């Protein structure tokens, strides 16, 4: 009997689930005490909160740019408009930050003089605790999504930038010399050698940066906004509603995982040339 | 006749980036001419600057003094008429074998379909028919070398530069590859500059063997015409009496340099 339940690679899922259930049960039992419940919330109430978010109430969202509204979206439940805002901020910041990091990373890696001149500023900008820029972005871009996008972009940019820079610097000199001997000009070298070589570094950074894009969006909302999951959490915190705060955390985590696995899927498609260890099949 | 590749009084001095006074002269006053269609091997002790010489011929490295002439005209930048087979792995790991072979054709521009057809032909010629979709990490070391060979030769270069291309292979694969290269060369008769530290390989393959001195300031110290009959089989030719005779003559010159180079490296370490 024990043999069946002994942890192994076959019943991995079972043990993972068991661990989750265990944590929830401990949480539930511990919060029978009212005082504990005040600080730690109650798992059942958190679940109910999430359920209500996705089923009860309603909401609408005006989609537009500046003062013009293109169209209005109507939602069947409360959370959708907030979720859509947060996800939009995250994805837009992720795309802009990655594109900027890739472009500027390539430029500085291939232009030693420019990189030498900008070096101290890049280091300073990276060392700066960039979350502190949020109030400034709030002043510049207002309380809408763009101040959050700007904050998240500053977080994403440096991760991608440093990885691309490193990736280009570590291109095999032999592969490079070979491509040059085969007649590649500067543009062809960039396209067929530098970029593919840097992509493996970029992808390892994308998993980090999708997480950071979320951090930027939610922290931005938390510091000042009228919509978004960060806003919901801030409101709940204001009324000591710990259950709702936890519900917000759970929803955010779930969607961060979804975005991360989307990056993983793209990576798998683009990086199929990379060797994997142990490709033999046991027959 | 104008030589295909003419290295005229080449010297190469490397300066340490951190300390300007640290200099190392790898190659000094070397003159080497390779006629069109000639197969020339350069042998020398390890670390004597053989690869430096080849990089100069390829245009990847500027000599400190002296000049390089390609079919009579001064070389500026990369040597466009040369194909280079590197000692280390030079295939792009993110491209399949076929895409690697036709990389040069794509750089040159022109019809993609035609390039792929030509690439397939060359893969078949080096015995890799049906392996076009594999990525380099899915191929064995010998197969990767054959892809590299096809990649270089598909460009139909007038000069072929080879830097110990088979040194990482086991002896059987190596002899197979050597015979393949000889066969391909026999059909097209290009100028070949072949760098190796293996004297057997040099004699078995070449028309002429140049012996380099130990570094620093490497220069040619002997030149031997290899008058063995062609076509040759690199495994069989080793028992030919003339092969043994040439081997003794060249080894007599090379041995002292090998010992000298070994002593220098020992004292440096």
Please compute the mean of the pLDDT values over residues B100-117 and round it to a whole number.
Answer: 91
With CA atoms as reference, the chain A residue closest to B157 would be A182
**Percent of chain B at pLDDT exceeding 90:** 32
pLDDT for res A203: 82
Please compute the mean of the pLDDT values over residues B97-125 and round it to a whole number.
Answer: 91
To the nearest whole Å, the CA of A55 is away from the closest chain B CA by 48
To the nearest whole Å, the CA of B167 is away from the closest chain A CA by 16
The rounded distance, in Å, linking the Cα atoms of B78 and B59 is 4
pLDDT band at residue B210 under the 50/70/90 scheme: very high
pLDDT band at residue B215 under the 50/70/90 scheme: confident
Beta-strand relationship, B65-70 and B5-15: antiparallel
Residue A275 belongs to a domain: no
pLDDT higher at B30 or A70: B30
* Residues with pLDDT less than 50, chain A: none
Are B212 and B221 in contact by the 8 Å Cβ rule? The answer is yes
Interchain CB distance below 8 Å, B84 and A184: no
Q: What predicted TM-score, i.e. pTM, was given to this entire model? A: 0.78
Residue A221 belongs to a domain: yes
Residue A96 belongs to a domain: yes
Provide the number of structural domains found in chain A.
Answer: 1
Residue B82 has pLDDT above 80, yes or no: yes
Q: Which of A181, A273, A274 sits opposite B84 (nearest CB)?
A: A181
In chain A, what is the straight-line distance between the N-terminal and C-terminal CA atoms, in Å?
27
The rounded distance, in Å, linking the Cα atoms of A103 and A92 is 17
pLDDT for res B232: 86
To the nearest whole Å, the CA of B47 is away from the closest chain A CA by 18
CATH at residue A246: 1.10.3720.10
Question: How many contacts, defined by CB atoms under 8 Å, are there between A and B?
Answer: 70
Structure tokens at B24: 């190392």
3-class secondary structure per residue, chain A: CHHHHCCCCCCHHHHHHHHHHHHHHHHHHHCCCHHHHHHHCCHHHHHHHHHHHHHCCCEEEEEEECCEEEEEEEECCCHHHHHHHHHHHHHHHHHHHHHHHHHHHHHHHHCHHHHHHHHHHHHHHHHCCHHHHHHHHHHHHCCCHHHHHHHHHHHHHHHHHHHHHHHHHCCCHHHHHHHHHCCCCHHHHHHHHHHHHHHHHHHHHHHHHHHHHHHHHHHHHHHCCCCCHHHHHHHHHHCCCHHHHHHHHHHHHHHHHHHHHHHHHHHHHHCCCCCCCCCCCCC
Interchain CB distance below 8 Å, B104 and A183: yes
Backbone torsions φ then ψ of B93, nearest 5 degrees: -65, -20
Question: What are all long-range contacts of A223-228, with beta carbons under 8 Å and residues at least 24 apart?
Answer: A223/A134, A223/A135, A223/A138, A224/A134, A224/A135, A224/A138, A224/A143, A224/A147, A225/A143, A225/A148, A226/A143, A227/A61, A227/A81, A227/A82, A227/A85, A228/A82, A228/A85, A228/A86, A228/A89, A228/A148
Residue A173 belongs to a domain: yes
Q: Which of residues 39-58 of B touch A (CB under 8 A)?
A: 58
Residue A138 belongs to a domain: yes
Range of the domain at A216: 77-268
Residue A17 belongs to a domain: no
Interchain CB distance below 8 Å, B89 and A174: yes
Domain ranges across chain B: 88-156
Q: Which residues contact B190 (CB under 8 A, 6 or more apart)?
A: B36, B37, B157, B158, B159, B160
């Amino acid at each position: 009997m024990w043999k069946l339940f002994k942890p192994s690679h076959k019943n991995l899922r079972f043990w993972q689930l068991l661990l989750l259930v265990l944590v929830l049960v401990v949480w539930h039992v511990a919060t029978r005490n009212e005082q504990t419940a005040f600080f730690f919330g109650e798992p059942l109430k958190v679940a109910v909160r999430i359920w209500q978010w996705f089923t009860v109430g309603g909401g609408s969202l005006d989609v537009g740019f500046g003062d013009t509204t293109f169209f209005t979206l109507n939602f069947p439940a409360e959370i959708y408009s907030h979720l859509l805002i947060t996800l939009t901020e995250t994805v837009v910041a992720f795309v802009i930050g990655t594109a900027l990091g890739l472009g500027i990373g390539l430029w500085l890696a291939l232009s030693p003089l420019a990189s030498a001149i900008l070096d101290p500023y890049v280091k300073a900008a990276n060392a700066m605790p960039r979350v502190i820029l949020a109030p400034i972005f709030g002043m510049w871009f207002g309380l809408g999504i763009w101040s959050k996008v700007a904050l998240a972009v500053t977080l994403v940019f440096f991760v991608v930038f440093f990885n691309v820079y490193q990736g280009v610097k570590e291109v095999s000199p032999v592969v490079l010399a070979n491509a040059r001997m085969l007649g590649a000009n500067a543009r062809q070298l960039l396209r067929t050698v530098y970029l593919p070589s840097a992509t493996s570094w970029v992808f390892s950074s994308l998993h980090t940066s999708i997480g950071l894009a979320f951090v930027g969006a939610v922290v931005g909302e938390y510091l000042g906004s009228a919509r978004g999951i960060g806003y919901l959490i801030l409101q709940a915190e204001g009324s000591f509603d710990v259950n709702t705060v936890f519900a917000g955390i759970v929803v955010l985590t779930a969607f961060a995982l979804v975005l991360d696995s989307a990056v993983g899927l793209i990576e798998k498609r683009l990086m199929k040339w990379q060797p994997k260890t142990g490709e033999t099949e046991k027959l | 006749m104008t030589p295909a590749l003419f290295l005229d009084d080449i010297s190469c001095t490397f300066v340490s980036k951190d300390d300007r006074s640290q200099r190392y002269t790898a190659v000094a006053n070397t003159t080497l001419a390779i006629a069109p269609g000639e197969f020339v091997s350069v042998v020398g002790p390890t670390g004597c600057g053989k690869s430096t010489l080849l990089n100069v011929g390829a245009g990847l490295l500027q000599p400190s003094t002296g000049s390089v002439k390609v079919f009579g005209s001064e070389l500026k930048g990369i040597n466009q008429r040369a194909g280079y087979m590197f000692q280390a792995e030079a295939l792009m790991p993110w491209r399949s074998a076929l895409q690697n072979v036709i990389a040069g054709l794509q750089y040159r521009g022109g019809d993609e379909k035609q390039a792929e057809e030509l690439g397939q032909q060359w893969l078949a010629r080096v015995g890799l028919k049906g392996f076009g979709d594999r990525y380099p990490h899915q191929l064995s070391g010998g197969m990767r070398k054959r892809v590299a060979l096809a990649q270089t030769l598909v460009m139909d270069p007038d000069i072929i530069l080879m830097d110990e291309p088979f040194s990482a292979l086991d002896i059987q694969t190596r002899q197979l590859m050597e015979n393949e290269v000889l066969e391909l060369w026999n059909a097209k008769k290009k100028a070949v500059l072949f760098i190796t530290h293996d004297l057997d390989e040099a004699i078995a393959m070449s028309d002429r063997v140049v012996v380099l001195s130990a570094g620093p300031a490497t220069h040619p110290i002997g030149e031997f015409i290899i008058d063995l009959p062609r076509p040759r089989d690199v495994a069989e030719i080793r028992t030919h009496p003339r092969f043994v005779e040439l081997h003794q003559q060249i080894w007599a010159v090379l041995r002292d340099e090998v010992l000298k180079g070994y002593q220098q490296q020992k004292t440096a370490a």
